[in-house]
Structure 1
Amino acid sequence: MDERQTIELGDITVDVVKKDIKNLHLSVYPPNGNVRISAPQRMDLATIRLFAVSKLRWIKQEQRKQRAQEREAPREYLNRESHYLWGKRYLLDVVEKDAPPNLNHNHSQMTLQVRPGADAAKKRAIIDESYRQQLKSAIPPLIAKWEQLMGVTVADFTVRKMKTKWGSCSPESRTIRFNLDLAKKPPAFLEYVVVHEMVHLLEPTHNSHFIALMDKFMPKWKFYRDVLNRLPLSYKRWDK
């Protein structure tokens, strides 16, 4: 069973979870910047505290960034509610019908057909699945394009709801994960994330070599990064 403790660093409380793992993992969770460290079960609290202190500047930076990040209002999946696909705003039209659920987009309207009595969770699941399919169609051509340009190969990719990142890469398995919310953003930002994560196949860290590669492949990457990080994130209690 995981062991849970806390560390106080001035006005910052760090939740410590001891698990059957080999290395320390530090996370700062939106929307409020809650801090959590996952640590090996046998590591003493003093060692974990020293690690947390060494990362204090980064923790405060992440907290400031997350607390300043604009967030979408909670969605209730009601008529005339705003939803987004590829950066375009749609007004939701909920239609109850005793037929298989589906979702259609027409001009500025997003029509969600659900069975009578469907709750918000069911409506959300239908829209999320539509976002997932949109991304699964849009990502492969981008990967194929950049595989040729970079001379790398992506073994597989997945689309999932992610807590703190727009994407992540596992260089060892050559797999990439994409945040489901990317389907809500303009397509250029999806391509930026594809390039960013594929560059990690050439350079796993964010060092000067990584920056040089990003400058080479996508000279405007810092613009896309900064704008994407200012766009609204979904309203989620990731710290729970």
Structure 2
Amino acid sequence: MVTELHHKIKVSGLSVEIVRKSIKNLHLGVYPPNGRVRVAAPLSVSDDAIRLAVIGKLGWIRRQREKFDAQPRQSKREMVSGESHYFQGRRYRIRVVYHDSPATVVLRNKTTMEIQVRPGTNAEQRLKVVERWYREQLKAEIPALLEKWQPLLGIKVAAWGIKKMKTKWGSCSIDAGRIWVNLELAKKLPQCLEYILVHEMVHLMERHHNDRFMALMDRHLPHWRAHREELNRAPLAHEDWSH
């Protein structure tokens, strides 16, 4: 049985992604980095009804897209001294130090991220060093968050992992009880990581973004919308990301 139907329509020149699923109410969202418009609608709602709903929100959609256009973005990473990088929501200037020992990353103070690499290391290799360090930091943070939230939600996460994703901050395999988080979250504020983990854990209880899902989020993480907004305000990577 098909539980979700996907297609797109045009509304006043705007491309709108429609996802029909077994939910009670219509949900309209505008997503970074380019203001993608998505409507989750009950299976029984017609395209004409969705079109009217979108038309009624055109002003709000435009304001959300303007916010994303004004949002700071990271330039393409060259991994050279003086370049700006982020960790846990804080901006750092990197300092590349060449020495003949295993590569590592060290935070020297609240403003400097030192990347220690062997002579001759190119930009791609330096980026991999930083990404490996980001991964290590997330691996150190996630277990405590799971330990906190599993008993609160009354669920058990069978497995979790970290990977680079271009279109989502997190994902889950409901049948396997597995959660994935985006490596990019290492750059964001800690509460953003917690919000994404809780979001995916709640999906293990409720597959869809329906009223029950929203109620569970409201009950367990009342300020989740503020965390989502904070995540959307954080500097975007050079690649296209959304959540």
TM-score, scaled relative to structure 2: 0.72
- Which residue of 2 is the match for residue 123 of structure 1? 126
- The residue identity in structure 2 corresponding to 1:207 is N
Shift of 1:78: 1.1
Task: Tell me, yes or no, if the aligned pair for 1:156 and 1:176 is still in contact at 8 Å.
Answer: yes
Task: Tell me, yes or no, if the aligned pair for 1:29 and 1:164 is still in contact at 8 Å.
Answer: no
- The Cα offsets for residues 138-183 of structure 1, whole Å up to 9 and x where unpaired, read as 0111011110101101011111111111111111111111011111
Task: Tell me, yes or no, if the aligned pair for 1:165 and 1:179 is still in contact at 8 Å.
Answer: yes
Residue 95 (structure 2) pairs with residue 101 (structure 1): no
Residues matched between the structures, number:
203
Shift of 1:70: 3.9
Match of 1:186 among 173, 186, 189: 189
Matches within 5 A, 1:14-93: 64=65, 68=69, 70-93=72-95
Structure 1: gaps spanning 5 or more residues: 1-6, 14-27, 36-51
Task: Tell me, yes or no, if the aligned pair for 1:29 and 1:163 is still in contact at 8 Å.
Answer: no
Shift of 1:235: 0.4
Task: Tell me, yes or no, if the aligned pair for 2:218 and 2:224 is still in contact at 8 Å.
Answer: yes
Distance 1:96 1:235, change over 3 A: same
Q: Secondary structure at the match of 1:163?
A: coil
TM superposition outliers: structure 1 runs of 4+ over 4 Å: 7-13, 28-35, 52-57, 63-67
Shift of 1:53: 11
- The residue identity in structure 2 corresponding to 1:220 is H
- The residue identity in structure 2 corresponding to 1:224 is H
Shift of 1:74: 1.6
- The residue identity in structure 2 corresponding to 1:117 is G
Q: Distance in 1 between matches of 2:14 and 2:161?
A: 34
- Which residue of 1 is the match for residue 154 of structure 2? 151
- The Cα offsets for residues 71-107 of structure 1, whole Å up to 9 and x where unpaired, read as 2122211112221111122221101112221111121
Distance 1:219 1:54, change over 3 A: same
- The Cα offsets for residues 1-22 of structure 1, whole Å up to 9 and x where unpaired, read as xxxxxx9969689xxxxxxxxx
- The residue identity in structure 2 corresponding to 1:84 is Y
- The residue identity in structure 1 corresponding to 2:83 is E
- The residue identity in structure 2 corresponding to 1:159 is I
- The residue identity in structure 2 corresponding to 1:232 is P
Match of 1:134 among 137, 155, 166: 137
Distance 1:209 1:64, change over 3 A: same
- Which residue of 2 is the match for residue 173 of structure 1? 176
Residue 223 (structure 2) pairs with residue 205 (structure 1): no
- Which residue of 2 is the match for residue 224 of structure 1? 227
Residue 117 (structure 2) pairs with residue 114 (structure 1): yes
